[in-house]
């Protein structure tokens, strides 16, 4: 089935930020749009607000005056639900309460035609549960827009257990006709983005709770080494700690308190104290007028080593060898397959984060994963109290000679970027194996929904089939709570590679 005809009226129920944004998207696409809100006057106010935003689009030359005037003429506030009777699509963006949404759609079913597509913009409730209250649940879907809806391209098109594929396809094609990038997914807690994104926040909070590093330092490593647009602490301050924690808690509870989705106690304390981020002036950071932003921990300048000995090609960090040579530091090669370590003049070793800890070995400094070692502006190192000061100084000096700022964190297994990326890859494989979405849609959703520099499967291909599994398996040995236990899907993925390559598993 194709997208809705542009002559078909679209209704939006609920006129908050999301409701207004969705209405604007449908309106600019060319549909007649009806706005309804239970509070008297709210629909009219929302129509005025949308009109003002259309004026700004004209001022920015993103919309012509004629198109704005035509859009305004198609936008009608409704005083009663009965005025939505001829709509071909009704999108709900009301309070995130199951009973409220169910009551609304029951009432709508008595008003609209049986072929009218009914959609919820819920981000945390079950589409199946909302639609289960309907007489015709097959025409009910999730249309999860991201805020701000007029700007962000992603729409998750969610099929509930009873959703008919005809209506899911109609919703998908309609979103695409509106200029959005739709992805199809099954009704699972968190859908695609909010399910797979949990480790991005959780691992940063865990490193902080383990006293591995402070928020400003962790954020800087994620940005400057991992390639993420924002770190977890600054992003949750922007989202709102209460909102982010609520989504985490909802996913955790919906998965029957699966340890992989356990909320952060430190974040809970922030919420309990009313420090919700930018909207209250304080969160992980102080956002009040005149407050200074804390600087990340950055190591003082050290002398670089005269040479390093490379054991193998450094695998995922192979670009470092070229950078070291370009910096004028001699690289002495040792013939070792799949080596991931550099030997420093002190005799100590520099190794890529692998889920183990520095304290387990004699004089080893770990360095974190980078999205692109050439472009990265900061590299994190970790060492234990037993690490030789000379080895740590040489490791710091080496990366400084490559033009990088260096941050030294605590002896945290998997460090910051590596453990975060590995867990994201694992949850992505698990989701695809359970039929939530395709690999392509997962990658699209994570790039467009939360601005990841790469999709999880793009990362997996770049880092190697067994990389994430090996790192998480080592982490699981050191934290046997189950939080880091690799999924069966990731296990199969890694070991299928072993079998094809003819190596022992």
Exposure b/e, 54-86, CB count within 10 A at least 16 = b? beebeeeeebeeeebeebeebbebbeebebbbe
Active-site residue, 300 included: no
Q: Say if CB 157 and CB 171 are below 8 A apart.
A: yes
C-alpha span between 89 and 141 (Å, rounded): 11
For residue 106, the number of C-alpha atoms closer than 13 Å in the C-beta half-sphere is 10
Helix (H) or strand (E) holding 470: helix 467-478
Q: Angle 467-478/417-433 helices, nearest 10 degrees?
A: 110
User: Could you say which of 92, 109, 126, 144 is catalytic?
Assistant: 144
Nearest alpha-carbon partner for 43 in 51, 32, 35: 35
Active site residue 126: no
Q: 341 φ, ψ to 5°?
A: -135, 150
Let me know if 451 is a catalytic residue. Answer: no
Q: Which of 121, 159, 194, 250 is catalytic?
A: 194
Both tokens assigned to 81? 């639900």
Instruction: Tell which residue, 74, 134, 429, has the closest CA to residue 260.
Output: 429
Catalytic residue among 92, 109, 124, 156: 156
CA dist list (Å): 502 to 495, 496, 505: 10, 10, 9
Q: Give the C-alpha separation, 97 to 104, whole Å.
A: 11
Q: Helix (H, G, I), strand (E, B), or coil: what is residue 255?
A: coil
Q: Select which of 31, 92, 109, 123 is catalytic.
A: 123
Cβ atoms 244, 257 nearer than 8 A: no
- Residue 277 carries which DSSP code? B
Whether omega before 148 lies within 30 degrees of 0, making that bond cis, reads yes
- Which whole-number Å values give the CA distances from 4 to 9, 19, 162, 258, 409, in the listed order? 9, 19, 21, 40, 54
CA distance 352 to 370: 10
Catalytic residue check, 194? yes
CA distances from 193 to 150, 156, 236, 247, 446 (A): 18, 9, 15, 11, 6
Distances in Å between the Cα of 169 and the Cα atoms of 2, 70, 175 are 7, 29, 10
Neighbour count for residue 479 (Cβ, 10 Å): 14
User: Where do we find the tokens 């600019």?
Assistant: 28
- Could you list the active site residues? 123, 144, 156, 194
């Amino acid at each position: 089935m194709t997208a809705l005809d542009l002559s078909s009226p679209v209704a939006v129920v609920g006129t908050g930020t999301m409701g207004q944004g969705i209405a604007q998207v449908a309106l600019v696409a060319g549909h007649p749009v009806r706005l309804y809100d239970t509070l008297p006057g709210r629909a009219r106010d929302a129509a005025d607000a949308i009109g003002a935003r259309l004026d700004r689009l004209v001022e920015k030359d993103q919309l012509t005056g004629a198109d704005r005037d035509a859009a305004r003429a198609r936008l009608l506030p409704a005083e009663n639900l009965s005025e939505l009777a001829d709509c071909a699509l009704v999108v709900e963006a009301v309070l995130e309460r199951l009973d409220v949404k169910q009551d609304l759609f029951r009432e709508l079913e008595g008003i609209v035609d049986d072929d009218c597509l009914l959609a919820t913009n819920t981000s945390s409730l079950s589409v199946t549960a909302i639609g289960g209250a309907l007489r015709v649940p097959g025409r009910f879907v999730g249309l999860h827009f991201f805020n701000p809806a007029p700007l962000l391209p992603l729409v998750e098109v969610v099929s509930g257990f009873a959703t008919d594929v005809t209506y899911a396809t109609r919703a998908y094609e309609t979103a695409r006709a509106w200029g959005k990038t739709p992805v199809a997914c099954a009704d699972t807690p968190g859908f695609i983005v909010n399910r797979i994104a949990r480790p991005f926040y959780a691992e940063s909070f865990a490193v902080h709770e383990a006293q591995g590093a402070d928020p400003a330092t962790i954020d800087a490593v994620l940005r400057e080494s991992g390639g993420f647009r924002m770190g977890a602490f600054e992003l949750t301050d922007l989202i709102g700690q209460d909102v982010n924690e609520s989504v985490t808690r909802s996913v955790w509870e919906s998965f029957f308190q699966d340890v992989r989705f356990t909320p952060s106690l430190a974040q809970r304390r922030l919420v309990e104290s009313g420090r919700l981020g930018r909207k209250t002036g304080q969160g992980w950071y102080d956002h009040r007028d005149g407050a200074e932003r804390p600087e990340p921990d950055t190591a003082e300048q050290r002398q670089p080593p005269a040479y390093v000995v490379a054991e193998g090609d450094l695998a995922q960090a192979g670009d470092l060898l070229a950078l070291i040579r370009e910096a004028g530091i001699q690289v002495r090669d040792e013939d070792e397959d799949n080596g991931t370590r550099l030997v420093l003049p002190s005799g100590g070793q520099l190794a890529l984060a692998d889920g183990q800890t520095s304290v387990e070995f004699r004089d080893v400094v770990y360095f974190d994963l980078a999205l692109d070692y050439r472009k990265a502006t900061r590299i994190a190192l970790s060492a234990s109290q037993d690490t030789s000061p000379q080895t740590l100084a040489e490791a710091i000096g080496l990366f400084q000679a490559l033009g990088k700022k260096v941050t030294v964190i605590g002896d945290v297994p998997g460090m910051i970027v590596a453990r975060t990326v590995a867990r994201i890859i694992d949850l992505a494989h698990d989701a695809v194996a359970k039929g939530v979405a395709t690999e392509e849609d997962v990658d699209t959703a994570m790039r467009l929904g939360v601005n990841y520099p790469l999709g999880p499967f793009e990362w997996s291909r770049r880092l190697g089939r067994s990389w994430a599994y090996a790192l998480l398996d080592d982490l699981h040995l050191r934290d046997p709570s189950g939080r880091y236990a690799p999924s069966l899907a990731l296990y199969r993925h890694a070991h299928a590679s072993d079998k094809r390559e003819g190596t022992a598993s």
